[in-house]
């Protein structure tokens, strides 16, 4: 299935270009980002662009180093010969072998032990996959993708990554996926995408979402990023009735000053999301500026963006940057 990178922010547009560049290149790939930002989606999109219409004929295999123990990770990646203590009494190929002529993704590689990081590094360098209990390994032609929660330099400083592996990553094509709190303009687009996706899967008609609900979602910190947002939309669809989108109780209890202010601009009417994104964004920014006496620094902090980003939005949305004096 072809993956779609959803969003309208400058960072997402840049990410799409980086994905195309990575797919056209030959380097192995490192994708950096907090948990839940969609690093796996980016990897699958690269695989899709790499092989095009023939992608189904080229394997895409993945393993998450943060959810299995050290020995199991080694067995999953490298496979094992019959008779290896603690393993089933059979021979099994590992993901490196199975990913021949395709792609292998190792997620959160910094959570692997240094021993396994060294073995992964060895594979990256020589492309030989030697099974546990085996004497020789086969040569593998595969594109290696790794994901990390932070950049290698940060992980190296806290001794979470093997030094030689960190050095090797300098030659990788590196992509960064920003957290949702740094690109709030993507949230309404993601909400619409998930609503369409979920209602289609459930075979129910679209639900209408009002400005208050959108604002609560935009203002939420989303510590688990897109993964958390998707779970909330799933839950909201279950709470919805009569074709109206209903936020789950844990979100409706949040205190959001912006909701109250936006009600004075748009009186909570239902809207077509595609035509209302700029209206939503402009209303939130205008009311935030008013609240903080047009202090751009404080407004930017309140909105969870840099002053540079705020100034860009003021220009794009034609919002006066200072209070007009009569």
Query: What domains appear along the chain, each with residue ranges and CATH number?
Result: 10-178 (3.40.50.300), 181-316 (1.10.8.60)
pLDDT (tens digit per residue) in 232-246: 998 888 777 777 888
Distance CA 82, CA 274 (A): 58
pLDDT beyond 90 at 65: yes
CB 63 within 8 A of CB 107: yes
pLDDT at 2: 63
Distance CA 188, CA 160 (A): 35
pLDDT beyond 50 at 102: yes
Determine what percent of the chain is predicted with pLDDT higher than 90: 60
pLDDT beyond 50 at 261: no
pLDDT at 266: 42
Judged by average pLDDT, the poorest of 137-146, 194-203, 271-280 is 271-280
pLDDT at 170: 96
pLDDT at 203: 83
């Amino acid at each position: 299935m072809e993956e779609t990178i959803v969003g309208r922010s400058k960072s997402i547009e840049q990410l799409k270009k980086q994905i195309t560049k990575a797919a056209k290149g030959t380097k192995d790939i490192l994708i950096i980002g907090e948990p839940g930002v969609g690093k796996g989606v980016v990897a699958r999109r690269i695989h899709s662009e790499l092989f095009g219409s023939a992608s189904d004929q080229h394997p895409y295999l993945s393993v998450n180093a943060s959810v299995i123990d050290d020995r199991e990770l080694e067995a999953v990646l490298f496979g094992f010969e019959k008779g290896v203590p603690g393993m089933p009494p059979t021979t099994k190929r590992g993901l490196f072998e199975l990913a021949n002529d395709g792609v292998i993704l190792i997620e959160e590689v910094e959570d692997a032990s240094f021993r396994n990081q060294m073995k992964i590094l060895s594979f990256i360098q020589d492309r030989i996959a030697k099974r546990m209990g085996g004497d020789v390994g086969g040569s593998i032609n595969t594109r290696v993708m790794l994901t990390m929660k932070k950049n290698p330099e940060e992980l190296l400083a806290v001794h979470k990554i093997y030094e030689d592996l960190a050095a090797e990553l300098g030659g990788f094509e590196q992509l960064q996926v920003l957290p949702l709190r740094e690109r709030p303009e993507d949230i309404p687009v993601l909400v619409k995408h998930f609503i369409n996706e979920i209602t289609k899967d459930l075979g129910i008609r679209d639900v209408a979402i009002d400005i208050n609900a959108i604002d609560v979602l935009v203002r939420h910190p989303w510590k688990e990023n897109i993964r958390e947002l998707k779970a909330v939309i799933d839950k909201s669809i279950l709470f919805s009735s009569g074709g109206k989108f209903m936020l789950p109780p844990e979100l409706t209890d949040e205190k959001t000053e912006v909701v109250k202010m936006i009600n004075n601009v748009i009186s909570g009417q239902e809207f077509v999301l595609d035509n209302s994104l700029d209206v939503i964004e402009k209303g939130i920014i205008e009311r935030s500026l008013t609240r903080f006496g047009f202090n751009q620094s404080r407004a930017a902090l309140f909105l969870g963006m840099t002053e540079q980003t705020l100034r860009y939005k003021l220009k794009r949305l034609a919002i006066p940057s200072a209070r007009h004096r009569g």
